[in-house]
């Protein structure tokens, strides 16, 4: 028994020894199979990263584009000490970097060292060619790793590090153009839209598909393009083509910059829209920024005031209320309205007029911008007519313009319109909030036969393959009958000819509109600060434009009145449109304009 047990122990011991040896053998094989021995690979893969699409103006200028960035790195252990200076001199010559800075970087680092992260495509191509030349010149030598005993030879490496968004027109078309932020994706820097067009069309602008190139490598790590190499196609993001012309945009931006200084205004916003199609020719602001270099002082300009800033519109809303009265057959333009000498008590509220009169025709209530006349006429509308009418004109609803973060504005609940005070105050533009874009859209009704146009900034979207996609056009609702729109058009022309907007008259063009000077409320109380605006239209024989001007908080004395601020700017805008061929004055239009004046 004892002899048998001893034999079994020996066999078990021998088995354990053999098993242990086998495990060590497998472990050794696994170690050498997985360890990074820095051996040159026969096959090589190279990813060509797709880029974000371009944003292009109506006149063909790139307002936003992307370019590739590369990083250059080298293993300092592979640089022959005898040819160190040669490497520094040649690399600096090709890259444009300071030789002293390059030398200092190499001397203070051992192993793989990044020389630059922001190399453009052109420079990267030169450096890749330099890499091949450096191998031929013997600048790089083999280095044996003391840990593994394996020798390796790594030269100058130039690979993609990401993309950079560039805005060649600097601050033009901002803030509507928007800006991007950088994100890391698979160790590559990408960009994504944060505001403006960049944000709204993110799904179209963003890169679609990277390309992959595989094949055998040469000594400088470049892929040999032969029958065995394979590649997949790269698909960049779609190009977004705007309706905005960069030329007229810059012209108007320069004009607004000057006016903002003269008027000491917080901001001036101007828009010119095709009344029939809704295409925006220009949407300019005096508050702009450089998307390439956003600083703390620019934070206030990042928001798009045209769609994000809400305010009480003031008297520019009076034509809307009057149009609703005409639509409901509640008023005749020649009705006589008692405006009580410029002061009128409605309930507990005293309403006053700037231009005092005893009686006015109903249409002259608009021409002379009478608060009293508007308040009295508004009482003829019932709650449903008034509330639904404002919604039909687009108030308290987003305009549908292709910009993000649009504020819908606020109008009182329907039951509030049962109050005579609310009817009065809303009719002359208080007690509600709207955006610049909503008012511009509403005024398109008067210049488009009663149909409302949805503003849009993008004409088309083009795929990398050249396929053109056109944004779906919103339906044009008939807000008021054609007869009402035509009548309102005549009344607004009369405002320019005889009323509060005489400063916008121009021979040979059909120009109409309405001024508005509105108090600004802060903390529930009105302060000595105002918004001045003018909304209207300018037409020649073939072009019909709806135009809006908003001057925010002008500080220059008396400049807060729309007639002293918004009206001159409106006229300058029309003059610039004429100078650049967008409008052509005609003697025929002048004759028609005079003959169409209401008696």
Please state the three-class secondary structure of 86-102 as a single string: HHHHHHHHHHCCCHHHH
User: Which percentage of the chain shows pLDDT scores above 90?
Assistant: 62
* Whether the predicted pLDDT of 225 surpasses 70: no
Comparing CA positions, the residue from 243, 178, 172 lying closest to residue 404 is 178
Length of the chain: 599
pLDDT tens, 161-207?
Answer: 889 999 999 999 999 999 999 988 777 888 999 999 999 999 999 98
How far is 594 from 496, CA to CA, in rounded Å? 12
For residue 596, the model assigns a pLDDT of: 41
**Cβ-Cβ contacts under 8 Å for 326 (sequence gap 6 or more):** 333, 480, 484, 487, 488
Site of tokens 């608009």: 366
Site of tokens 């300009």: 301
CB 561 within 8 A of CB 315: no
How far is 8 from 473, CA to CA, in rounded Å? 90
CB 200 within 8 A of CB 180: no
For residue 168, the model assigns a pLDDT of: 95
How far is 442 from 514, CA to CA, in rounded Å? 13
Question: 21 vs 321, which has greater pLDDT?
Answer: 321
Instruction: Give the number of other CB atoms < 10 A from CB of residue 416.
Output: 17
How far is 443 from 41, CA to CA, in rounded Å? 68
pLDDT tens, 229-265?
Answer: 555 677 889 999 999 999 999 999 999 999 999 999 9
**Hey, what domains does the chain have and what are their CATH numbers?**
43-242 (3.90.1310.10), 246-290+304-595 (3.40.710.10)
The half-sphere exposure of 116 on its side-chain side, counting CA atoms within 13 A, is 22
Comparing CA positions, the residue from 92, 458, 417 lying closest to residue 243 is 458
pTM of the model: 0.83
For β-strands 211-216 and 230-231, DSSP reports them as antiparallel
How far is 394 from 400, CA to CA, in rounded Å? 10
**Cβ-Cβ contacts under 8 Å for 220 (sequence gap 6 or more):** 131, 132, 135, 155
Maximum alpha-carbon separation in the chain: 136
Computed over every residue of the chain, the mean pLDDT equals 88
**Cβ-Cβ contacts under 8 Å for 498 (sequence gap 6 or more):** 367
CB 497 within 8 A of CB 597: yes
CB 309 within 8 A of CB 300: no
CB 488 within 8 A of CB 450: no
Element (H, E) at 269: strand 267-274
Token digits of residue 524: 């529930």
pLDDT tens, 470-516?
Answer: 988 888 899 999 999 999 999 999 999 988 777 788 889 999 999 99
Q: How confident is the model at residue 121 (pLDDT cuts 50, 70, 90)?
A: confident
Comparing CA positions, the residue from 236, 164, 243 lying closest to residue 197 is 243
Q: What is the mean pLDDT of residues 520-528?
A: 79
For β-strands 157-166 and 180-185, DSSP reports them as unpaired
CB 514 within 8 A of CB 319: yes
* Whether the predicted pLDDT of 6 surpasses 80: no
For residue 40, the model assigns a pLDDT of: 47
Query: Cα 175 to the chain's mean position, in Å?
Result: 6
CB 232 within 8 A of CB 208: no
pLDDT tens, 339-376?
Answer: 999 999 998 889 998 888 899 999 999 999 999 999 99
């Amino acid at each position: 028994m004892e002899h048998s047990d001893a034999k079994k122990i020996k066999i078990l011991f021998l088995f354990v020894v053999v098993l242990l040896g086998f495990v060590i053998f497998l472990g050794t094989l696994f170690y050498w199979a997985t360890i990074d021995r820095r051996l040159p690979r026969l096959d090589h893969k190279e990813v060509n990263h797709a880029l974000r699409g371009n944003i292009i103006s109506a006149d063909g200028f790139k307002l936003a584009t992307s370019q590739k960035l590369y990083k250059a790195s080298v293993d300092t252990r592979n640089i022959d000490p005898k040819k160190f200076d040669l490497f520094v001199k040649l690399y600096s010559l090709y890259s444009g970097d300071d030789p002293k800075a390059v030398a200092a970087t190499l001397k203070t680092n051992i192993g793989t060292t990044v020389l630059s992260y922001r190399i453009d495509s052109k420079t990267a191509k030169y450096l890749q060619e330099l890499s091949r030349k450096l191998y031929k010149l013997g600048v790089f030598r083999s280095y044996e790793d003391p840990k593994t005993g394996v020798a390796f030879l790594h030269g100058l490496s130039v690979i993609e590090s990401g993309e950079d968004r560039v805005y060649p027109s600097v601050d033009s078309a901002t803030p509507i153009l928007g800006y991007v932020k950088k994100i890391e994706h698979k160790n590559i820097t990408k960009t994504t839209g944060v505001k403006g067009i960049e944000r709204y069309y993110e799904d179209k602008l963003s890169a679609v598909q990277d390309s992959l190139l595989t094949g055998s490598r040469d000594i400088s790590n470049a892929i040999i393009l032969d029958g065995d190499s394979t590649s997949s196609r790269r698909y960049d993001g779609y190009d977004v083509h705007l309706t905005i012309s960069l030329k007229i945009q810059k012209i108007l931006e320069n004009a607004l910059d000057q006016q903002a200084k003269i008027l000491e205004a917080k901001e001036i916003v101007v828009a010119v829209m095709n009344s029939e199609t809704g295409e925006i020719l220009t949407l300019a602001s005096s508050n702009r920024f450089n998307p390439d270099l956003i600083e703390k002082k620019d934070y206030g300009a990042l928001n798009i005031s045209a769609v994000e800033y809400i305010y009480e519109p003031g008297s520019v809303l009076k034509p809307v209320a009057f149009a609703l009265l005409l639509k409901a057959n509640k008023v005749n333009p020649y009705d006589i309205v008692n405006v009580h000498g410029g002061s009128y008590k409605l309930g507990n509220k005293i309403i006053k007029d700037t231009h005092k009169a005893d009686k006015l025709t109903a249409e002259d209530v608009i021409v002379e911008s009478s608060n009293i006349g508007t308040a009295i006429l508004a009482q003829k509308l019932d709650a449903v007519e008034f509330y639904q009418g404002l919604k039909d004109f687009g108030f308290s609803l987003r305009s549908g313009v292709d910009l993000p973060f649009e504020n819908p504005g606020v109008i009182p609940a329907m039951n509030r319109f049962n109050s005579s005070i609310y009817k009065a105050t809303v009719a002359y533009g208080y007690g509600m909030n709207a955006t610049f874009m909503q008012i511009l859209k509403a005024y398109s009704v008067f210049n488009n036969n009663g149909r409302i146009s949805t503003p849009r900034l993008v004409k088309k979207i083009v795929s990398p393959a050249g396929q053109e996609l056109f944004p779906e056009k919103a339906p044009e609702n008939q807000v008021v009958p054609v007869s009402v729109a035509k009548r309102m058009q005549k009344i607004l022309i009369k405002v320019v000819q005889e009323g509060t907007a005489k400063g916008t008259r121009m021979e040979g063009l059909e120009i109409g509109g309405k001024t508005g000077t509105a108090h600004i409320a802060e903390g529930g109380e009105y302060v000595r600060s105002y918004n001045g605006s003018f909304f209207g239209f300018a037409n020649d024989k073939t072009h019909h434009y709806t135009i809006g001007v908003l001057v925010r908080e002008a500080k220059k004395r008396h400049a807060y009145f729309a007639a002293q601020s918004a009206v001159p700017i409106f006229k300058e805008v029309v003059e610039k449109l004429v100078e650049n061929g967008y409008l052509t004055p005609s003697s025929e239009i002048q004759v028609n304009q005079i003959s169409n004046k209401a008696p």
